[in-house]
Amino acid sequence: MQIVSFRPNGSTEPLRAGFSDNGSVIASSDLGYPDTVRELLTHHSHELTTVLDKARAALATGESATDLAAVHLGPPVPDPDKILCMGLNYLEHIEEASAAVTEFPPVFAKFRNSLIGAADTILMPGISTDIDYEAELAIVIGTRCKNVTVEDALDHVAGYAVFNDVSARDIQFRSHQWTSGKMLDTFGPMGPGITPKEEISDVQALRIQARVNGVTVQDSNTSKMIWPVAETISYLSAIITLEPGDIIATGTPAGVGLAQDPPLWLKANDIVEIEIEGLGLLHNTVKAPQMSGAVKTQARKPKIAAA
């Protein structure tokens, strides 16, 4: 069972919250619940087990259900309040990037314009050539929390999803702040849906992989996280209040394109697959940049007046 956001194939209507299982999907509103995933989590996370049981029963009868092949899956939470991303959360990735091990993790943000669905297209920006993939586990927050303890952190989780923290490395490394190379349009494939936490026996024991054009480039396990899921939630909740529908990307293991020799930058028509055990698969095609109207940015240094 997954919580999804969907619309009929070929439609431009707003994405609707729903539940998918065994090749079928049913709208949340058909069961008397809100029509967006964020609203569903905001108002019903406290009874999510009951909601999911009701959805399973409805899908089992087939009444009001639609064939999953007849719908398009968007990002599970299209309109999160925030997308927080952990950097350098696997030692093997720190080593391949020749980065320093720090006492606290780097944290940066993406925004909702980055989010796309599990089979949507990654659009290359005209201002970058060094585009990279990053297989990541995403946490979806179910209930509001602030200053939550590690012991209580998982109580605030709705579920988990597959995430690709697509990165424009040439933009990312222009400055010490990574966000500018992370927040580009379509640079946050996520899905296929949210797998409820109750269906994952141990979130710190999941195989995580990335493939580019069928070749495996990342193959690791969430057991190797430096900051596990519960500690990540506790740490971030001490900095900022976490709200229902918030997304936390938990960092990537070794094997990113930056670390290959030569670097493996994504190019037009590449197919990028990210897969996490028990959560599903992202299958995104890369599309060539649309250069019409592109603005060429120029580096510059401020003029400093003589003392």
Answer yes or no: is 299 within a domain. Answer: no
Within this chain, do residues 16 and 54 fall inside the same structural domain, yes or no?
Answer: yes
Within this chain, do residues 253 and 214 fall inside the same structural domain, yes or no?
Answer: yes
Within this chain, do residues 193 and 135 fall inside the same structural domain, yes or no?
Answer: yes
Answer yes or no: is 306 within a domain. Answer: no
Please give the chain's pLDDT, 307 residues, in tens: 999 999 999 999 999 999 999 999 999 999 999 999 999 999 999 999 999 999 999 999 988 899 999 999 999 999 999 999 999 999 999 999 989 888 999 999 999 999 999 999 999 999 999 999 999 999 999 999 999 999 999 999 999 999 999 999 999 999 888 999 999 999 999 999 999 999 999 999 999 999 999 999 999 999 999 999 999 999 999 999 999 999 999 999 999 999 999 999 999 999 999 999 999 999 999 999 766 555 666 666 666 666 5
Within this chain, do residues 283 and 181 fall inside the same structural domain, yes or no?
Answer: yes
Within this chain, do residues 250 and 177 fall inside the same structural domain, yes or no?
Answer: yes
Q: How many folded domains does the chain comprise?
A: 2
User: Which of 73, 95, 130 is the last residue before a domain boundary?
Assistant: 73
**Domain assignment of residue 159, given as a range:** 83-287
Within this chain, do residues 68 and 156 fall inside the same structural domain, yes or no?
Answer: no
Within this chain, do residues 13 and 89 fall inside the same structural domain, yes or no?
Answer: no
Within this chain, do residues 216 and 99 fall inside the same structural domain, yes or no?
Answer: yes
| Contact (CB, 8 A) for 31 and 47 | no
Which residue type is seen at 205? A
Distance CA 182, CA 184 (A): 6
Q: Where are the alpha helices (DSSP H) in the chain?
A: 37-44, 48-61, 91-96, 150-153, 169-172, 229-239
Estimate the share of the chain in helix, then strand, then coil, as percent rounded to the nearest 5.
25, 30, 45
Within this chain, do residues 141 and 210 fall inside the same structural domain, yes or no?
Answer: yes
Answer yes or no: is 267 within a domain. Answer: yes
CATH code of 232's domain: 3.90.850.10
